[in-house]
Amino acid sequence: MKKLAALAVLVLAGCQAQPHYPIQTAPRPLARVEGQPLPQEQQAQGAAPAPAEHAARRLPNYAGTAGPLTRAGIGRYMDGMENDLRRILKGTPVARPGDALSLNLRNDMLFEKGGGFSDDGRDLLHAVASVLRHYDRTAVQVNGYADTRGTPDQSLRTSQKRADAVAGALRAGGVAGARIQATGFGQTHLKFATGPDKAEPRNRRIEIKILPHPG
């Protein structure tokens, strides 16, 4: 009897450790780079096929939305979203200032040197969009920041362009555009203080702030 009881405890513990939803591997959507055909077009033109991308991030198989949000339920709602983001975005900083959530994403992880999204950047934003679609009672602020290289005006334009690109990727991933606001802040709000004309990768970043929007 003691052995049977111990076995039952182990089985129950294993069940509790599983996620509360099934997991699916989501395909990464193809993105056109200006001046280059998509892989299907390359093959039609007789060109060599593009190399296979690495496996996409494993995403929750959400069934619909997380439901309505009341002011009394904000804490639990954002707890669920935080847990999902931390589980999916392993290695990506997820902060919890009050009832909001904040993702700090370095530009050199999101973008290639030419300005387009990297494979990892597209993969990450696809995952973020899937969570935002489920937790749809939230507003999303996409804030772009730069380091002190170049003039303030140049930095402002670049940070706005990149914030717009990230917001566009989230919209393409199914997040309602009315929920998203994109703002470039240029050289203001440096994460690490430097002098003028200093390259600092940690200051070149996108911060996605997610705010509860009960209704």
How many other CB atoms are found less than 10 A from the CB of residue 48? 8
pLDDT given for residue 142 in this prediction: 98
Q: What is the DSSP string of 31-88?
A: -PPTT---HHHHHHTTPPPPPPPPPPPEEE---S------GGGHHHHHHHHHHHHHHH
- Per-domain residue ranges for the chain? 69-215
20-25 mean pLDDT: 42
What fold characterizes domain 69-215?
Answer: 60s Ribosomal Protein L30; Chain: A; (3.30.1330)
Does the pLDDT at position 45 exceed 70?
no
Strand arrangement of the beta sheet that strand 180-184 belongs to: 94-95, 101-106, 205-212, 138-145, 180-184
Mean residue pLDDT of the chain comes to: 81
Determine contact, residues 162/184, Cβ cutoff 8 Å: yes
Q: Residue 56's pLDDT band (boundaries 50, 70, 90)?
A: low
pLDDT given for residue 97 in this prediction: 96
pLDDT given for residue 49 in this prediction: 35
Q: Is 94 exposed, middle or buried (0-12, 13-18, 19+ CB in 10 A)?
A: buried
pLDDT given for residue 60 in this prediction: 80
3-state secondary structure 77-106: HHHHHHHHHHHHCCCCCEECCCCCEEEEEE
* 99-137 pLDDT tens trace: 999 999 999 999 998 889 999 999 999 999 999 999 999
